[in-house]
């Protein structure tokens, strides 16, 4: 330190340049000794260096300690020696800067005595004289190893987190792509596999219907059996992988539970009856019919349970019951149970049967076949429906599978209106059936209609009951007899009854699970009025009872036997256009439809469909979605476009291999009225066709469309304050004035008088506006806009559209005026 410098003692904030000469000599000494002490004891490293060569002149112990030296050792060393070799070259630049700016703070790497390098924060101040010459540098140096470590750690963590995040995002993206690809793959697979399976199964069934030698019949039976098994396996695997991929959707649609269960039971009937099993079902009267949920998945679960029950039961019965578990304002939890009298499941296996690929008994598996997937899928589906599934079973006694499921209370389907229960009230019925479950269910059903019933388990008991009834003047008006009973069967019972004149008055309905050739003739001979096959839909039974009761006392040959077929005979025979490119499927459909009495014309692709419907009128179009040249969706859209304004609508049923919610949405968007998914079974096909064909019939030769398509009725009624006579008066005025309004518009168009067109359109818009006729109103708006300067072609186009809309509106208004039905 120079002599001059010694006079200038550090003073004030050590980080501020030193102020000089502020106090007298005595005060300065005092101050100096105070500052000397601060300097000595400060916890941070302080050192004064030569401004020329950076020789360390004075430093405090903290400074020395930081570098691992004694104070004495450091004196005379150059500050540069404390810089690490890498940082050393920048020292000259720092000195230059500090001399220029007075103070500089920078980070650097310094060297301890033991050779280790550590990070420091250097706060360097240049102390200058009055002329601005730098006298010395004051260095405040902090070891920032710890901060650095924390910083680095934080940085490392941030990098790690970012890496993780990136990885997670990537994984998520990959998973999404993979699951999407998997979903698409599954959808394609299911389509690709079902299409050929469809032909195999369908055509096999057709051939089996022909006259065949026993041997080919047997082989074909095996083909059919194996094909069904293969299809079930495929469907199970696809379903399970869909569940795993989260691709299985539960739909929320309005459906009719009773209708849905009736269909399920009907499909099972043959399998049960061919094993000689009794199949029955009962839906408690409290169970609502109109539900909101997924009927397809519900049917899948019940079908699986029924299949198993039939499969694992060799004699006895299979019974499905549905009751209400709990009900709230908007939802209901239903309890389904399927019980059988089959082989049962050992206690210790009862949990496991719900796991994939697990079967209760390895040795029974070979005997009964199956994959062990059905219950796993059912369990997942039940859980998706907010319910649970469980089993109660005793080995050798039978099993009852229970499940619950949550449904919304639907709308759109009216609850079944009991036809005329008054006529059935207190009517005495005798139920004769050897099967206890069937007897009970029939009795419950009859009691639900207010009927009075007794049951007999065999013919002898039945005759006794009938005689007793007669003696007590409490005769039975109706007898429901099961045709197939051990010992004396139903027909024999009827024969006996007919021989006793006082018993012969009762009307008889024969119930059968296995229809046999000649049954109908036997029925007629014995004077049996109705012959119904099981399982019975309550509404069919009710209708049959009512029809039977309304028949004259004496049976004549001219009155046909009442059968399920005749009950449902409201069916029309249709002219169906079939669009299908695959020859095997074509043959299958043609045969099925023709066998059912329908007339079929075939087209190979969408273009041919459009040509065919140009040429002749059809009642229905049954169209595959995937066809060459023009696919089904395009064809449907084109048909709907062409129909616009004509007031006609050809019912279209799509045939599709895809079966997801979005696929179905696409179908309806394209204008389909219904669909059947492959593989096609006759039941599914006819259900779809009859469902669509049952839509209100519209006369072909009239261009007439339902009023509700043209007019928003509710809005209209609001517009007229609910006053029908006012509405009729308005319609009269509108229709009277319409020709003139239209002619004004046409005149303006042909004169290209834009102003006049605008006025005329505006005035028409005003009147049409009252009728809540959206399409017509929008078309007039378009015309009004176009009047502002659109091309004559465009105006002509809108005008022709307007004419069509006005025709539709006129017809709709006339229908209202003449009190015709609105739909
Ligand atoms: P699959 O029937 O295709 O083997 P499931 O998952 O439907 O597969 O059934 C799993 C197993 O549970 C069956 O293999 C059978 O051992 C047992 N099981 C299911 N239902 C019944 C039943 N009603 N009676 C006896 N055993 C049954």
Mutate which of 302, 312, 355, 400 to test ligand 1's pocket (most atoms within 8 Å of Cβ)? 312
pLDDT over 90, % of the chain: 23
pLDDT of residue 513: 73
For residues 164-184, give the mean pLDDT.
78
pLDDT of residue 246: 66
Give the count of beta carbons closer than 10 Å to the beta carbon of residue 586: 19
pLDDT of residue 411: 58
Answer yes or no: is the C-beta of 523 below 6 A from any ligand 1 atom: no
Least confident of 10-19, 276-285, 565-574, 684-693: 10-19
Are 577 and 613 in contact by the 8 Å Cβ rule? The answer is yes
Tens-place pLDDT, residues 643-677 = 776 666 788 888 887 666 566 677 777 878 778 88
Structure-derived torsion over alpha carbons of residues 730, 733, 735, 737, reported in degrees to the nearest 10? -140
How far apart are alpha carbons 636 and 269 in whole angstroms?
Answer: 36
Task: Tell me: cis bond preceding 126? Omega within 30 of 0 counts.
Answer: no
pLDDT of residue 699: 32
Answer yes or no: is the C-beta of 343 below 6 A from any ligand 1 atom: yes
- Do β-strands 317-327 and 331-340 pair in parallel, antiparallel, or remain unpaired? antiparallel
Among 15, 532, 553, 639, residue whose Cα is nearest residue 269: 532
Measure Cα distances from 85 to 111, 117, 137, 146, 411 in Å: 8, 10, 21, 22, 86
Ligand 1 centre and the CA of 67: distance in Å? Answer: 81
Answer yes or no: is the C-beta of 588 below 6 A from any ligand 1 atom: no
How far apart are alpha carbons 185 and 274 in whole angstroms?
Answer: 38
Residue 413, pLDDT above cutoff 50: no
Are 680 and 202 in contact by the 8 Å Cβ rule? The answer is yes
- Which residue, by CA, sits nearest to atom 11 of ligand 1? 359
Measure Cα distances from 116 to 112, 119, 583 in Å: 5, 10, 87
Tell me the β-bridge partners of 137.
49, 126
Tell me the β-bridge partners of 10.
none
Mutate which of 243, 305, 308 to test ligand 1's pocket (most atoms within 8 Å of Cβ)? 308
Answer yes or no: is the C-beta of 378 below 6 A from any ligand 1 atom: no
How far apart are alpha carbons 578 and 48 in whole angstroms?
Answer: 103
Region for residue 658 given its phi and psi (left: phi exceeds 0; alpha: psi -120 to 50; beta: otherwise): beta
pLDDT of residue 570: 40
pLDDT of residue 558: 46
Ligand 1 centre and the CA of 304: distance in Å? Answer: 9
Measured at the alpha carbon of residue 251, what is the angle toward residues 248 and 252, in degrees to the nearest 5?
Answer: 155
Measure Cα distances from 382 to 239, 250, 298, 305, 309 in Å: 14, 10, 8, 12, 18
How far apart are alpha carbons 376 and 356 in whole angstroms?
Answer: 5
- Which residue, by CA, sits nearest to atom 21 of ligand 1? 308
Measure Cα distances from 564 to 515, 536, 684 in Å: 12, 9, 18
Burial of residue 219 (number of CB atoms within 10 Å: 0-12, 13-18, 19+): exposed
> In the structure, what pLDDT confidence band is assigned to residue 191 with cuts at 50, 70 and 90?
low
Answer yes or no: is the C-beta of 763 below 6 A from any ligand 1 atom: no
Burial of residue 169 (number of CB atoms within 10 Å: 0-12, 13-18, 19+): exposed
**Residues constituting the chain:** 823
Encode 462-512 in three state secondary structure: HHHHHHHHHHCCCCCCEEEEECCCCCCCHHHHHHHHHHCHHHCCCEEEEEE
Answer yes or no: is the C-beta of 345 below 6 A from any ligand 1 atom: yes
Ligand 1 centre and the CA of 243: distance in Å? Answer: 20
Most confident of 385-389, 725-729, 782-786: 385-389
Residue 290, pLDDT above cutoff 90: no
Of residues 687 and 577, more confidently modeled:
577
Tell me the β-bridge partners of 509.
480, 530
For residues 75-100, give the mean pLDDT.
93
For residues 746-769, give the mean pLDDT.
87
Answer yes or no: is the C-beta of 675 below 6 A from any ligand 1 atom: no
State the greatest distance between any 2 C-alpha atoms of the chain, in Å, as a whole number: 152
Answer yes or no: is the C-beta of 493 below 6 A from any ligand 1 atom: no
Measure Cα distances from 785 to 112, 684, 760, 799 in Å: 88, 50, 12, 12
Mean pLDDT of the chain: 80
Task: Tell me: cis bond preceding 679? Omega within 30 of 0 counts.
Answer: yes
Of residues 11 and 612, more confidently modeled:
612
Residue 544, pLDDT above cutoff 90: no
Answer yes or no: is the C-beta of 316 below 6 A from any ligand 1 atom: no
Q: Which residues contact 353 (CB under 8 A, 6 or more apart)?
A: 345, 359, 360, 372, 375, 391
How far apart are alpha carbons 388 and 382 in whole angstroms?
Answer: 6
pLDDT of residue 421: 67
- Which residue, by CA, sits nearest to atom 23 of ligand 1? 309
How far apart are alpha carbons 398 and 98 in whole angstroms?
Answer: 98
Answer yes or no: is the C-beta of 309 below 6 A from any ligand 1 atom: yes
- Do β-strands 652-656 and 620-624 pair in parallel, antiparallel, or remain unpaired? parallel
Of residues 765 and 182, more confidently modeled:
765
How far apart are alpha carbons 812 and 823 in whole angstroms?
Answer: 10
- Which residue, by CA, sits nearest to atom 14 of ligand 1? 359
Residue 181, pLDDT above cutoff 90: no
Residue 365, pLDDT above cutoff 70: no
Q: First-to-last CA distance in the chain?
A: 112
Ligand 1 centre and the CA of 720: distance in Å? Answer: 63
Answer yes or no: is the C-beta of 451 below 6 A from any ligand 1 atom: no
How far apart are alpha carbons 539 and 560 in whole angstroms?
Answer: 20
Phi, psi of 563 (to 5 degrees): -130, 170
Least confident of 161-170, 225-234, 783-792: 225-234
Answer yes or no: is the C-beta of 354 below 6 A from any ligand 1 atom: no
Ligand 1 centre and the CA of 62: distance in Å? Answer: 84
Among 254, 291, 256, residue whose Cα is nearest residue 539: 256
Atom in ligand 1 nearest the alpha carbon of residue 338: 23
Phi, psi of 377 (to 5 degrees): -65, -45
Q: Which residues contact 358 (CB under 8 A, 6 or more apart)?
A: 352, 372
Ligand 1 centre and the CA of 396: distance in Å? Answer: 14
> In the structure, what pLDDT confidence band is assigned to residue 62 with cuts at 50, 70 and 90?
very high
Among 759, 765, 729, residue whose Cα is nearest residue 747: 759
pLDDT of residue 817: 72
Least confident of 256-270, 300-314, 444-458: 256-270
> In the structure, what pLDDT confidence band is assigned to residue 397 with cuts at 50, 70 and 90?
very high
- Which residue, by CA, sits nearest to atom 7 of ligand 1? 374
Give the count of beta carbons closer than 10 Å to the beta carbon of residue 120: 25
Are 622 and 589 in contact by the 8 Å Cβ rule? The answer is yes
- Which residue, by CA, sits nearest to atom 19 of ligand 1? 308
Ligand 1 centre and the CA of 399: distance in Å? Answer: 10
Among 738, 750, 747, 722, residue whose Cα is nearest residue 805: 738
Query: Tokens 């599709």 correspond to what residue?
Result: 656
Tens-place pLDDT, residues 719-742 = 676 666 677 778 888 888 888 888
Q: Which two tokens stand for residue 610?
A: 């459009």
Measure Cα distances from 735 to 519, 715, 756, 757, 768 in Å: 62, 20, 22, 20, 10
pLDDT of residue 701: 31
Answer yes or no: is the C-beta of 312 below 6 A from any ligand 1 atom: yes
Tens-place pLDDT, residues 96-119 = 999 999 999 999 999 999 999 999
90 secondary structure, DSSP code:
G
Answer yes or no: is the C-beta of 370 below 6 A from any ligand 1 atom: yes
For residues 169-198, give the mean pLDDT.
73
Question: DSSP of 138-160, one letter per residue?
Answer: EEEEEE-HHHHHHHHHHHHHHHH
pLDDT of residue 537: 75
Least confident of 174-178, 199-203, 645-649: 645-649
For residues 704-712, give the mean pLDDT.
65
Residue 418, pLDDT above cutoff 60: no
pLDDT of residue 1: 44
Question: DSSP of 53-77, one letter per residue?
Answer: T-BEEEE-HHHHHHHT--HHHHTT-
Please report how many Cα atoms fall inside a 13 Å half-sphere around the Cα of residue 405, on the Cβ side: 29
pLDDT of residue 721: 62
Q: Which two tokens stand for residue 590?
A: 């043609």
Atom in ligand 1 nearest the alpha carbon of residue 375: 6
Ligand 1 centre and the CA of 306: distance in Å? Answer: 11
Tell me the β-bridge partners of 511.
482, 532
Tens-place pLDDT, residues 209-253 = 778 888 888 888 888 888 887 887 777 777 777 776 666 777 777
Question: DSSP of 325-355, one letter per residue?
Answer: EEE-SSEEEEEEEEEE-SS---GGGTTGGGS
Answer yes or no: is the C-beta of 361 below 6 A from any ligand 1 atom: yes
Q: Which residues contact 463 (CB under 8 A, 6 or more apart)?
A: 493, 496, 497, 503
Query: Tokens 């279209």 correspond to what residue?
Result: 652
Are 239 and 381 in contact by the 8 Å Cβ rule? The answer is no
Among 87, 93, 141, 94, residue whose Cα is nearest residue 109: 87
Ligand 1 centre and the CA of 344: distance in Å? Answer: 9
Among 110, 14, 25, 27, residue whose Cα is nearest residue 66: 110
Measure Cα distances from 547 to 93, 428, 431, 566 in Å: 114, 16, 18, 11
Mutate which of 375, 393, 402 to test ligand 1's pocket (most atoms within 8 Å of Cβ)? 375
Residue 624, pLDDT above cutoff 80: yes
pLDDT of residue 302: 95
Answer yes or no: is the C-beta of 187 below 6 A from any ligand 1 atom: no
pTM for this one? 0.45
Phi, psi of 211 (to 5 degrees): -75, 125
Among 378, 474, 489, residue whose Cα is nearest residue 429: 474
pLDDT of residue 515: 61
pLDDT of residue 100: 92
For residues 628-645, give the mean pLDDT.
85
């Amino acid at each position: 330190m120079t002599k001059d410098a010694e006079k200038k003692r550090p003073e004030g904030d050590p980080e501020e340049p030193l102020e000089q000469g502020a106090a007298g000599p005595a005060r300065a000494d005092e101050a100096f000794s105070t500052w000397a002490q601060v300097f000595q004891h400060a916890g941070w490293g302080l050192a004064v260096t030569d401004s020329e060569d950076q020789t360390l002149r004075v430093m405090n112990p903290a400074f020395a300690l930081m570098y691992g030296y004694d104070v004495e050792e450091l004196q005379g060393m150059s500050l540069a020696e404390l810089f690490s070799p890498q940082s050393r070259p920048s020292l000259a630049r720092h000195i230059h800067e500090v001399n220029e700016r007075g103070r500089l703070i920078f980070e650097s790497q310094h060297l301890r005595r033991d050779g280790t390098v550590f990070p420091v924060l250097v706060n360097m101040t240049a102390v200058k004289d009055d002329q601005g010459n730098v006298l010395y540098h004051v260095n405040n140096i902090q070891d920032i190893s710890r901060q650095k470590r924390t910083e680095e750690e934080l940085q490392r963590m941030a990098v790690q987190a970012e890496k993780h995040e990136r990885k997670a995002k990537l994984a998520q993206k990959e998973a999404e792509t993979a699951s999407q690809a998997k979903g698409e793959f599954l959808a394609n697979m299911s389509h690709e596999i079902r299409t050929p399976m469809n032909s195999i199964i369908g055509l096999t069934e057709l051939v089996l219907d022909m006259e065949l030698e026993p041997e080919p019949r047997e082989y074909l039976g095996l083909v059919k059996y194996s094909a069904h098994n293969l299809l079930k396996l495929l469907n199970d695997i696809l379903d399970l992988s869909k569940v795993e991929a989260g691709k299985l959707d539960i739909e929320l649609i309005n459906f009719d539970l009773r209708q849905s269960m009736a269909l399920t039971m009907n499909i099972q009937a043959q399998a049960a009856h061919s094993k000689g099993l009794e199949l029955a079902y009962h839906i408690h009267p409290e169970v609502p019919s109109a539900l909101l949920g997924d009927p397809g998945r519900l049917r899948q679960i019940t079908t699986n349970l029924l299949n198993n029950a039939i499969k694992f039961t060799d004699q006895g019965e299979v019974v499905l019951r549905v009751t209400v578990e709990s009900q709230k304002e908007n939802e209901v939890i239903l309890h389904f149970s399927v019980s059988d009298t089959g082989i049962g499941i050992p206690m210790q296996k009862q949990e496991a049967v719900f796991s994939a690929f697990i079967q209760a008994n390895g040795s029974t598996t070979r005997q009964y076949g199956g994959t062990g997937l059905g219950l796993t899928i059912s369990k997942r589906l039940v859980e998706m429906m907010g319910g649970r599934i469980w089993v109660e079973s005793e080995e050798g006694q039978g099993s009852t599978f229970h499940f619950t499921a949550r449904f919304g209370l639907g709308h759109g389907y009216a609850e079944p209106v009991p036809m005329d229960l008054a006529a059935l009230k207190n009517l005495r019925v005798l139920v004769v059936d050897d099967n206890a479950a069937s007897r009970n269910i029939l009795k419950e059903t009859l009691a639900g209609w207010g009927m009075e019933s007794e049951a007999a388990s065999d013919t002898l008991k039945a005759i006794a009951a009938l005689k007793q009834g007669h003696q007590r003047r409490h005769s039975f008006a109706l007898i429901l007899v099961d045709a197939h009973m051990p010992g004396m069967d139903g027909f024999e019972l009827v024969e006996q009854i007919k021989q006793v004149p006082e018993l012969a008055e009762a009307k008889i309905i024969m119930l059968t699970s296995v229809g046999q050739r000649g049954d109908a003739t036997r029925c007629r001979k014995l004077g049996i009025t109705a012959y119904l096959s099981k399982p019975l839909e309550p509404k069919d039974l009710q209708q049959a009872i009512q029809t039977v009761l309304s028949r004259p006392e004496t049976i004549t040959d001219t009155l046909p036997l009442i059968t399920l077929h005749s009950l449902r005979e409201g069916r029309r025979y249709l002219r169906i256009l079939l669009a299908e490119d695959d020859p095997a499927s074509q043959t299958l459909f043609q045969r099925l439809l023709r066998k059912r009495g329908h007339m079929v014309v075939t087209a190979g692709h969408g273009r041919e469909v459009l040509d065919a419907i140009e040429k002749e009128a059809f009642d229905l179009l049954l169209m595959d979605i995937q066809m060459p040249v023009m696919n089904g969706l395009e064809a449907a859209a084109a048909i709907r476009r062409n129909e616009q304004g004509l007031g006609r609508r050809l019912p279209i049923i799509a045939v599709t291999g895809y079966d997801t919610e979005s696929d179905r949405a696409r179908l309806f968007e394209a204008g389909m009225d219904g669909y059947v998914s492959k593989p096609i079974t006759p039941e599914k096909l006819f259900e779809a066709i009859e469902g669509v064909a049952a839509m209100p019939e519209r006369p072909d030769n009239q261009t007439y469309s339902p009023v509700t398509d043209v007019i928003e009725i509710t809005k209209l009624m609001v517009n007229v304050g609910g006053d029908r006579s006012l509405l009729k008066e308005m319609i009269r005025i509108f229709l009277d004035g319409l020709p003139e309004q239209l002619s004004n518009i046409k005149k303006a168009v042909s004169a290209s008088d834009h102003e006049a067109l605008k006025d005329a359109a505006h005035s028409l818009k005003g009147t049409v506006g009252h009728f809540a006729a959206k399409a017509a109103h929008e078309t007039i708006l378009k015309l009004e806009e176009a009047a502002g300067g659109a091309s004559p072609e465009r105006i002509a186009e809108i005008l022709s559209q307007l004419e069509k809309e006005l025709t539709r509106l006129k017809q709709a208004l006339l229908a209202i005026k003449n009190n015709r039905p609105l739909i």
